[in-house]
Amino acid sequence: MPKYRFVAVDQKGKEYSGNMDAADEAEAQSKLRDKGLFPTSVTADSGGGTAKKTAAKGKKKPAGKQSLQKEITMPSFLQKVKPKELMSFTRQLATLVNAGLPLVRGLQVLGRQEKNPMLKRALRDMGDAIESGSNFAEALVQHPRIFDKLYVNMVKAGEVGGVLDKVLLALAEFMEKVQKIKNKVKGAMIYPIVVLTLAMGIMVFLMVFIIPKFEKIFEDIMQGKELPWLTRQVVAVSENMFNVTTIITTIVVIVVLIIALSFFKKSRKGAYMIDWSKLHMPLFGSLFMKSAIGRFTRTLGELMDSGVPVLQALTIVGETSGNNVVEVAVHEVHDAVKEGENIAPTLDSTGIFPPMVISMVEVGEETGELPQMLRRIADNFDDEVDNAVAGLTSVIEPLLIVMLALIVGTIVIALFLPLIGIIEGLNTG
C-alpha cells in the first residue's frame, strides 16, 4: 500500500505531520478526519523524505547567514503574490473550510505555513478583521493587490449562500485554467522572440566584426572605384552602428517612444485602440480573441453559478476582462439586460462574439442552464486556443526562417557584389 506524507491540524490549530498508509489521497484524508484532524497537505511519499528532513534538521545554518537572511527583505511595494501561491492558498482554505475548521482558525494555520511575506501579513490581518466582526469578503477588500474584484465577489456570494468551501474550490480551479491559457499564449510568443533576438545578434556580429574587415579589403582591391549601392548601404550602417551620436539618438528615440506609448495606453481611447489592434493583428489576433472570449465566458459562468446576480456579474466581468474592447462590449450587454433584454441578442449586436457563442448562450437562457453552457463554451475555446497555438507555431517557424535568411542573405550579397564586379572586370579585360 502506498505511503502518504501529511500535514494536518486539530480543532485548536495544533499542527501534526507524519506518514501513513492509504490506497489513495482521498482515503488518507478520510483517515485523518476520522481522527479529528483537518488535512492541509497530503502528498505521495516518494521515499527518503523523512531522512532528508532529519538530516536537514541536524544541520545548523551559520548564525551570520541566518541574521543576514532575516535582514534582507524586499520593500512592500516590490512584493507580490504569484498566481500559483494564491491558487495554493485558495485550495487549501477550501479543504479546511470543507472539513469543518472555523475560517479564522484556517487562516491562522495557513498563515503559519505561508512563506510569502505579503500573503502571510494579509492572512494575519484578515484573521484579525474577521475576529473584530467583519465577514471574509470585507476582509479581502482590504488587500486589493492580492484579491481582485472577481475573487471578492465570488467569496461574498459563497458566504451569502453558505457554500464558501465550494466557491473557494471553484475559484482555485478557475485560476488554474486562466493561468494555463495565459501560459499557452505566452509560450506561443516565446519562439518568435527568441528567433528575432538570434537574428539581431547575427546581424550585429556581422556588422561589427565582419563588415569592417571586408571594407579594408575593398579599399585595397577596388583602387578608388565606387562600391555597388547595396554594399555602400551595408557599410554605412556598419560604420554608424556604434557611432556615439547614433547611439544617443537611438536611445532618446526609444525612451520617447516608450513614454509616449505609456501615456497613450493610460488614456481610455488609446487603451481601446491598442486592445483593438491586438484582436485584429495578423496571426496572433485570432489567438488573443479566442483567449478573451474564453476568459469572459468562464468568468461569467463561475460568477452566476456561485449565485452572483447577472447584472453584478456582468459588471465584474467587464472590469476583469483584461481587454478594453471586450469591456466596452460587456457594458453594452449590461445596459441592455438592465432594460429587460436577453443576453444572447445583445452579445450578437456587439459584433465581437462569434455565432457559435451566441447560439449556445441563447440555448442556455432558454433551458435555464446558462452558467453550465458558459463553462462549456469556455472549455471549447480553451481547446481552440490549444489548436491555435500549435497552428501558430507551425506558421511562424518558416516565416521567421525566411526573415532570418533575408537579413543574413542581404549582408552576404552586399559583400560579394564588389568581388563579382572585380571578376567581371578581369574577364572583360
Q: Tell me: do 372 and 292 sit in the same domain.
A: yes
Q: What digits encode the pLDDT tens for the residues 321-374? A: 778 888 899 999 999 999 988 999 999 988 888 899 999 999 999 998 898 999
The cell for 196 is: 528575432
pLDDT tens digits, 110-150? 888 888 889 999 999 999 999 888 889 889 988 988 888 77
Please work out, in degrees rounded to the nearest 5, the angle formed at the alpha carbon of residue 380 by the alpha carbons of 376 and 383.
140
Span 271-288, mean pLDDT?
A: 85
Residue 57 predicted with pLDDT over 80: no
Same domain membership, residue 362 and residue 373: yes
pLDDT (0 to 100) of residue 257? 93
Q: Which range marks the domain in which residue 319 is found?
A: 172-429
| 313 lies in some domain | yes
pLDDT of residue 67: 39
403, 308: one domain: yes
Domain annotation covers residue 86: yes
In a shared domain, residues 139 and 215? no
d(CA 4, CA 26): 11
Confidence of residue 50 (pLDDT cuts 50, 70, 90): very low
On whether both 297 and 360 belong to a single domain, the answer is yes
Q: Are residues 283 and 162 in the same domain?
A: no
pLDDT digit string, tens, across residues 68-89: 344 345 555 557 888 888 888 8
Average pLDDT, integer, range 207-234:
81
**pTM confidence score:** 0.62
Which pLDDT does position 306 carry in this prediction? 78
Domain boundary among 171, 206, 223: 171
Q: Is residue 198 part of a domain?
A: yes
Helix 370-428 / helix 355-367 crossing angle, nearest 10 deg: 170
pLDDT: which is higher, 224 or 312: 312
pLDDT on residue 429? 55
Judgement on whether residues 213 and 136 belong to the same structural domain of the protein: no
Q: Running DSSP on this structure, what letter comes out for residue 427?
A: H
Write the CATH number for 11: 1.20.81.30
Q: How many CA atoms lie within 13 A of 321 on its CB side?
A: 25
Question: Taking 60 as the threshold, does the pLDDT of residue 10 lie above it?
Answer: yes
The 10s digit of each residue's pLDDT in 180-205 is 877 877 777 787 788 788 878 888 88
Does 201 share its domain with 154? no
Q: Looking at the domain assignment, is residue 315 inside a domain?
A: yes
97 alpha carbon, distance to own chain's centre = 28
Which pLDDT value is given to residue 252? 93
Cα separation, 110 vs 40, in Å, equals: 8
Q: Give dist(CA 290, CA 382) in Å, integer.
A: 8
Residue 313's pLDDT band (cuts 50, 70, 90) = confident
The burial class, CB within 10 Å (0-12 / 13-18 / 19+), for 262 is exposed
Helix 268-280 vs helix 324-338: crossing angle, to nearest 10: 100
Tens of pLDDT, residues 370-429: 989 998 998 888 888 878 777 777 777 788 888 888 888 888 888 888 888 777 766 665
Q: 310 and 216, same structural domain?
A: yes
Is 404 part of any domain?
yes
Q: Model confidence over 242-272: pLDDT tens digits? A: 777 877 888 899 999 999 988 888 888 888 8
In a domain, 155, yes or no: yes
**pLDDT at position 74, please?**
52
In degrees rounded to 5, what are phi and psi of residue 45? -85, 115
pLDDT at 66: 41
Same domain, yes or no: 165 and 190:
no
- Which of 151, 171, 191 is at the close of a domain? 171
Q: Are 237 and 167 in a shared domain?
A: no
Position 259 scores a pLDDT of 93
Q: How confident is the model at residue 75, as a pLDDT? A: 54
Our CA dihedral for 78, 81, 84, 85, rounded to 10 degrees, sits at 130
Does 53 map to a domain?
Answer: no
The reply to whether 223 and 136 lie within a common domain is: no
The answer to whether residue 37 is domain-embedded is yes
90-103 pLDDT tens trace: 888 888 888 888 88
pLDDT value at residue 61 = 44
Domain count, the chain: 2
